[in-house]
Amino acid sequence: MLGSMTLKTAEAGHSYRDLNRLMSLMTGDEKHGPAATSTLDALWVLYHRVLRVTPGTVGDPERDRFLLSKGHGPMAYYAVLAAHGFFDEKLLSGFGEYDSPLGHHPDRMLVPGAEIGSGSLGHGLPLAVGSALGLRAQGLSTRRVWVLVGDAELDEGSSHEAIAYAGPAGLDRLHTVVIDNASATYGRPGGIASRFEVAGWSAETVDGRDHEALYAAFTAPHPGRPRVVVARVAPKS
């Protein structure tokens, strides 16, 4: 069981520096490269230092759940999963091909370790709310749900409803990472974090390339409230 599981190291000696090589194995059209690279640092910190799930425990009810809502750019996700041994890195070279399990949008039935099929904007956060509610109903109160969304997804009504519900429901096992690359259509007075805070969330905004800042934000206590970390990766003007 995962109760005694310690934080893991990447498989086969992979390190963060190796991710560029792993991503370079994925070629072809429709790669959504910028969408992928914007998530790379947050994904690495989560899988390398925070998430309590391994290739051997992907079916264990006591695992943490990670949901990639930003599924239209899964290259970084695939590279991080391969680096941590969820599947052989040889699969990366077939990315997007007809007979490859690694599609342009991840498929939970084909990609080892994937919790949801994703890519359409606005689906992941509501699914994460449902997952947190399901774990609560089962009495799995120590398991955590993490979801990574893009800032543009917050324009979707489904995301707004999930934010508005999770705070008053006290879903403190729910964690959201918002990748802020300044791609949202609508501005928000006070910034993205304030939108969550007014709904009762614990919120923090950090440099999305700073691994120590990400780790500190991911592991900060937030009793009784869901947690959101806004990871800013937009280029400086």
| Predicted confidence (pLDDT) per residue in 140-176, tens digit | 888 999 999 999 899 889 999 999 999 999 999 999 9
| 186 touches 180 (CB < 8 A) | no
| 77 touches 106 (CB < 8 A) | yes
| 119 touches 105 (CB < 8 A) | yes
If the chain, 237 residues long, is cut into consecutive pieces of 10 residues, what is the mean pLDDT of each piece?
Answer: 40 79 82 75 97 95 95 91 96 92 93 92 94 94 93 91 97 96 67 93 97 98 97 72
Q: Is 133 exposed, middle or buried (0-12, 13-18, 19+ CB in 10 A)?
A: middle
For tokens 């099929």, the residue is 117
- Which residues, including other chains, have CB under 8 Å from residue 49's CB and lie 6 or more apart? 7, 215, 218
Entry pTM: 0.90
